[in-house]
Amino acid sequence: MRLGRLGLGALLLVAVAASVALAFESPVYALVVPGLLIGGGMLSAMSRFPLGQLCGVMVLFGVTARLKEGLQVEEVVYAVYYLSYLGSWFATRLWVYRERVFDTPLDIALGLFLAYMTASLGLTVLFGGSLSLARGDWIALSAFAFYFPIKEACARYRWGPWVVIGIVIYLGLFSFIRNLLTFSAAIQDAEYAWQIARGRVPMNEMLLFVPALGCLGFAARASGWTTRIVLTGGFALFSVGVILTQWRAYYVDLAFGVMLFVLLLEWRGRGRLVVLVGLSGLLGMGLGYLLFPGAMELIVVGIFDRILSIGTASTADVSLLNRFLESRSAWELIKQNPIAGYGIGTTFGFFDTIYNATWVKSYIHNGYLLLWFKFGVVGLLLVLFAWARAILAAHRVWRRREIADWERTLGLTVAIILISLIPSHFVSAPFTTSDTVLTFALLMGTAAGLAKRVGDPSAAPTATDGTREAGGRAPRADAA
Q: How confident is the model at residue 12 (pLDDT cuts 50, 70, 90)?
A: low
pLDDT of residue 1: 46
> Among 85-89, 105-109, 385-389, which is the least confidently predicted range?
85-89
Residue 126 lies in a domain: yes
Residue 221 lies in a domain: yes
pLDDT of residue 11: 54
Q: How confident is the model at residue 112 (pLDDT cuts 50, 70, 90)?
A: very high
Q: How confident is the model at residue 475 (pLDDT cuts 50, 70, 90)?
A: very low
Q: List pLDDT tens digits, range 63-99.
A: 776 655 555 666 777 878 888 889 889 999 989 888 8
> Among 9-18, 105-114, 270-279, which is the least confidently predicted range?
9-18
Nearest Cα residue to 448 out of 86, 51, 164, 56: 164
Residue 308 lies in a domain: yes
Domain range for 183 is: 57-64+72-472
Per-residue pLDDT averaged across 223-233, rounded?
88
Domain total in the chain: 1
Nearest Cα residue to 385 out of 110, 117, 23, 72: 110
Residue 103 lies in a domain: yes
Q: List pLDDT tens digits, range 130-177.
A: 888 898 899 889 999 999 999 999 999 999 999 999 999 999 998 898
Residue 77 lies in a domain: yes
Q: List pLDDT tens digits, range 186-199.
A: 877 777 676 777 77
Residue 43 lies in a domain: no
Residue 8 lies in a domain: no
pLDDT of residue 466: 41
Inform me whether the pLDDT recorded for 114 exceeds 50: yes
Q: What percent of the chain has pLDDT over 70?
A: 80
Residue 208 lies in a domain: yes
If one counts every other C-beta atom within 10 angstroms of the C-beta of residue 70, the result is: 7
Question: pTM value?
Answer: 0.84
